[in-house]
Structure 1
Amino acid sequence: MSMSINISELISTPFKEETFEVPIDMEAYESMGDKFPFRKKENLVLTVSNIGTRKIHLKGHWQGELGIPCDRCLEEVAVPLAVEIDEDIDLSSEDSDEDADNSYIEESNIDTDALINHEILIRFPMKTLCRKNCKGICLKCGKNLNLGECGCDRTSLDPRMAAIQDIFKNFKEV
């Protein structure tokens, strides 16, 4: 069950401001069928301000650390994430509900897990490497090449030469 902040009183009181510190209940960030576990996560600190007729301002911060597999060798990498939130939201505009960036607000509640999920999606790294010179895995046996050589023959042939590959196997070096 995710934590939500009820802002109904704040919406009805002009220029009221309130700060909340709430835990994030998610155990993992989920995206496109993949789960990335949280290794660390702090409480979300969020200040909600009424800035006019059905308009609010969100300002806050959150830090956490996700376990994301290296794109080359698949070893889990600790990726720190820092989220800074600073945005105005018009609660009266209901015409663009489907593609709204504020899908984490429903009626007078802010779903904090959905808010953090949305912010992580925006900041999710395009490429994750355990180190710059990661060697990856062997394409034949799957061994992590950072841990040592596997002994497989990894000479790659130009695919356009595959038809005559067998001819060269019959020749012996002189």
Structure 2
Amino acid sequence: MLIDLSDILSVDGKTKELKMPVSMDSFESKLGSFPVVEKQPLDVVITNTGKKVLRIEVKGKVSLALPCDRCLKDVATEFEIDLEKEVDMKTSEEDRIKDLDEINYITGCSLDIEQLVHNEILIHWPMRVLCKEDCKGICSHCGKDLNEGPCSCEQESPDPRMAAIRDIFSKFKEV
């Protein structure tokens, strides 16, 4: 959804407050496609602070269904959209690239809300998603969810000579 910024740019000190719906039904990236399970309208405040500088404030929430890193069950993950940014509309796109200012949600005199939300989700993407802290994951042989109970795969007995090394690894276990 695009917001026309030309009327705000025409008057110094003008403020525009909007309640914008999030129209995306899924989040698409190189990571995959993730369905949006909950979305709240975004509160958008755009202020012309003078000399073609806009202050953009966006607040809202979007929840995506992300797979648990251990058992692959969908977990509703909430992303808080809280952006406050000042944009100098006098600078050209080439100058923004030189300054490493990656504002790809403003094109000409239009603000693309969907692109802004997409960027905020990527910035706040979690390192690890777990359905619960003690998730047991899935069996590496048969693929059964071990949270629902043990599988019938044959459990190999570990070599007793490796007990000291196994103790070291169990103390520093990440996943």
Give TM class, smaller chain.
Answer: 0.7 to 0.9
| Secondary structure in 2 matching 1:145 | coil
Bigger shift: residues 48-57 or 68-77: 48-57
Q: Give the C-alpha shift of residue 153 in structure 1.
A: 2.4
Q: Give the C-alpha shift of residue 120 in structure 1.
A: 0.8
Q: Return the alpha-carbon distance in structure 2 between the equivalents of residues 156 and 78 of structure 1.
A: 37
The gaps in structure 2 that reach 5 residues or longer are 163-175
Asked whether the equivalents of residues 96 and 102 of structure 2 are also in contact (C-alpha less than 8 Å), the reply is: no
The gaps in structure 1 that reach 5 residues or longer are 162-174
Q: Give the C-alpha shift of residue 157 in structure 1.
A: 6.2
Q: Give the C-alpha shift of residue 79 in structure 1.
A: 1.0
Q: TM-score with structure 2 length normalisation?
A: 0.83
One-letter code aligned to 2:73: E
Which residue number in structure 1 is paired with residue 60 of structure 2? Answer: 62
Which residue number in structure 2 is paired with residue 146 of structure 1? Answer: 147
One-letter code aligned to 1:107: G
One-letter code aligned to 1:71: D
Which residue number in structure 1 is paired with residue 79 of structure 2? Answer: 81
Q: Give the C-alpha shift of residue 33 in structure 1.
A: 4.5
Which residue number in structure 1 is paired with residue 132 of structure 2? Answer: 131
Q: Return the alpha-carbon distance in structure 1 between the equivalents of residues 71 and 31 of structure 2.
A: 20
Q: TM-score with structure 1 length normalisation?
A: 0.84
User: Structure 2 vs 1, CA of residues 51 and 155 (structure 1 numbering), >3 Å: closer, same or farther?
Assistant: farther
Q: Identity of paired residues, percent?
A: 34
RMSD value, Cα:
1.8
1:99-154 Cα distance to aligned partner (Å, 9 max, x none): 53310000011010001001111111110000000000110111111111111124
Equivalent residue for 1:52, pick from 17, 27, 50: 50
Q: Return the alpha-carbon distance in structure 1 between the equivalents of residues 76 and 9 of structure 2.
A: 39
Bigger shift: residues 148-157 or 31-40: 148-157
